[in-house]
Copies of this chain bind each other. A is one copy, B any other.
Amino acid sequence: MRSHYCGDINTSHLGQEVTLVGWVNRSRDLGGVVFLDLRDREGLVQVVYNPDLKDVFDIASTLRSEFCVQVKGVVNARPDSQVNSQMKTGAIEILGTQLTVINASAPLPLSMDNYQNNSEEQRLKYRYLDLRRPEMAERLIFRAKVTSSVRRFLDSNGFLDIETPILTKATPEGARDYLVPSRTYKGQFFALPQSPQLFKQLLMMSGFDRYYQIVKCFRDEDLRADRQPEFTQIDIETSFMSAEQVMEKTEQMMRGLFQDLLNVDLGEFPRMTYAEAMKRYGSDKPDLRNPLELVDIADLVKDVEFAVFNGPANDVEGRVAALRIPAGASLSRKQIDDYTKYAGIYGAKGLAWMKINDLAAGIEGIQSPVLKFLTESIVNDIINRTGAQTGDIILFGADKANVVAEAMGALRIKAGEDFKLLEGQWRPMWVIDFPMFEKINGGFHAVHHPFTAPRGISAEQLAADPAAAISDAYDMVLNGCELGGGSVRIHNAEMQSTVFGILGIEAEEAQEKFGFLLEALRYGTPPHAGLAFGLDRIIMLMTGASSIRDVMAFPKTTTAACPLTNAPGFANPVQLAELGIAVVEKVKTAE
């Protein structure tokens, strides 16, 4: 029915007769000539109907938005004055000779031109119309190109695409599982996988050596802007490869992706330990476009007569850090109050500050509510260490180390944006050397997951001092977002049991939940390591979309519903009986 896509017509087709199909993006009668913007997935082209072809012109006059039409015509150069350089096809137009209305459209239930006027609910209810917007279509086309590029890379590097089950057992990621009642085993449930973690490890035990899958994962959590009940992972696992080799290979993949799709050379990714990232950026996923850094000053203030400073400075779990914002002395009292409130969201109990109004004026040039607690020598040491200049402000965080990292890390990001300090467009990196465990309420929790191997120590050494253990894990970070993370996995049963023990998983529970893994580890398991990328987030970053919903064809609302199909819905009582379950509580209104 077509000879070309609309968006593909250009001056190389001048004089050719073309047949196009698509949708009426806009149609106007200007001075007795109909100008039709015809749209398909590849773009727009202008078609012109002159009144001298009366029959066709008459049809053209009846067109309304979103009619589906077939157009025949001849490609013509536009007059110089009408060339539209904003438009891919802006140098040409089609002189229409035929026109067929394939399917008319009723008036639209939402605005195509001003989509900001449509509510999120409307956009999702009429998703098939929302997806006609070129911006949305381009994102999904881009997404298809990304997965295609990733697959080509992995296929050509010997990775095998192997499918793992969707109906499976509760997985250990710790988020809430979606459950699926079993009909054969009434009263029992499958779980939808939060990731194929254990299956991909089993595939390594089977000898598949290099596995990948672009796969749906599921978490029944309360949703935020960047969360969806189902999301997509680029899931990778390898045998006989070190952390170093996995990082090299996946970095190469990501570099290729940016080169292919955006024509951007990401260069080599710098590496940074978790400890250094926390120290300098207060975050394990620092945005390196932001030049601001935290500077530790506990040693300078541990003897001051100011409990807010000297308390944390003398506490082994405490931290005192300074953040210099160039030209930040311009902040008003009100703006500083806003920064203080913002830090409060992340647990900071207050926010000390110091303006460097005039460096040459010595202590007279310094303005700070905490100045009275500091000697001139300490002030000078702080200025020297932070490199502060006239016109700068220094913000201080003093608390438990994790609170300082969170609050000052958040302020660093905010100040970077407020003061427009971001440099460069793409700043990828690796964060490595994570601790194996973090202590929450007195118990150890896995920082990565319970199958992650410690680096360079035996099971005995690990058991002796779990808090000190560093894991063989790695996160790929881009512009302050975690693109993916992975680790070398434990490949022997003793180490795995030791880790379960440290995590407080009793032998019986370990057997019940992960018995098959412990058993599998007994039969010549190879060393293996892997990684999982969040595909949706990668597409968001690469397309500049502001919501994960804008890079998925049919997302759910933030209450995990689908206004298009009206899912979820009530079930047939017969089917519930077949499953051996009953509804005991119904939600009364949509939450």
Residues of A within 8 A of B (CB): 1-2, 5, 21-24, 39-41, 66-68, 102-106, 108, 125, 127-129, 131-132, 137, 140-141, 143-144, 147-148, 151, 155, 160-170, 176-192, 198-199, 202-203, 205-209, 216, 218, 220, 229-230, 232, 239-241, 491-492, 516, 520, 522-527, 552-554, 556, 559-562, 564-571, 575, 577-587, 590-591
Contact = CB atoms under 8 A, between A and B. Distances in A.
B105 A170 contact: no
Contact of A585 (B143, B186, B520): B186
Given A128-B202, A148-B151, A164 B207 contact: no
Q: How many copies does the complex hold?
A: 2
A568 B188 CA distance: 6
Contacts of A192: 166, 180
Given A523-B129, A569-B170, A176 B575 contact: yes
A185 B552 CA distance: 22
Q: Pick the 5 closest A-B CB pairs, nearest first.
A: A187-B586, A580-B585, A131-B206, A105-B524, A188-B568
A516 B191 CA distance: 29
Given A105-B524, A168-B565, A526-B68, A161 B144 contact: yes
24 contacts: A21-B240, A23-B207, A23-B524, A39-B207, A41-B208, A68-B524, A104-B524, A105-B524, A128-B520, A129-B523, A137-B206, A163-B232, A166-B216, A170-B569, A179-B181, A183-B560, A184-B560, A184-B591, A185-B568, A188-B570, A189-B570, A189-B571, A516-B565, A516-B566
A68 B569 contact: no
Contacts of A191: 567
Contacts of A22: 207
Contacts of A155: 148
A590 B178 CA distance: 23
Contacts of A552: 163
Nearest to A106: B522
A567 B190 CA distance: 6
Contacts of A160: 41, 140-141, 144
A235 to B, nearest CB: 13
A561 B199 contact: no
A136 to B, nearest CB: 8
A536 to B, nearest CB: 10
Contacts of A169: 562, 565-569
Contacts of A2: 240
Contact of A180 (B128, B178, B182): B178
Given A41-B207, A567-B191, A68 B525 contact: yes
A464 to B, nearest CB: 24
A103 to B, nearest CB: 5
B161 A524 contact: no
Given A131-B203, A179-B181, A188-B568, 13 more contacts: A1-B241, A67-B524, A106-B522, A127-B202, A131-B206, A163-B552, A167-B560, A178-B180, A180-B180, A182-B561, A188-B569, A580-B587, A581-B584
Contacts of A148: 151, 155, 161
Contacts of A585: 186-187, 577, 580
A537 to B, nearest CB: 15
A128 B206 contact: yes
Contact of A526 (B21, B571, B579): B21
Contact of A581 (B1, B108, B568, B581): B581
A67 B522 CA distance: 10
A132 B179 contact: no
A207 B167 contact: no
Given A151-B148, A165-B554, A103 B180 contact: no
Given A144-B161, A525-B68, A564 B491 contact: no
A566 B168 CA distance: 9
Contacts of A165: 230, 554, 556, 562
A16 to B, nearest CB: 19
A449 to B, nearest CB: 17
A568 B67 contact: no
Contact of A140 (B208, B232, B582): B208
Nearest to A208: B41
A230 B40 CA distance: 35
A99 to B, nearest CB: 14
A366 to B, nearest CB: 53
- Counting chain B CB atoms within 10 Å of each CB, the highest count among A147, A163, A525, A570 belongs to A163
A27 to B, nearest CB: 13
A579 B584 CA distance: 9
A402 to B, nearest CB: 29
A164 B554 contact: yes
A143 B161 CA distance: 8
Residue of A128, A137, A203, A556 ringed by the most chain B CB atoms within 10 A: A128
B185 A590 contact: yes
Nearest to A578: B176
Nearest to A241: B1
A525 B101 CA distance: 11
Given A102-B527, A166-B216, A516-B564, A553 B203 contact: yes
Contacts of A206: 127-129, 131-132, 137
Given A169-B562, A240-B1, A570-B188, A40 B180 contact: no
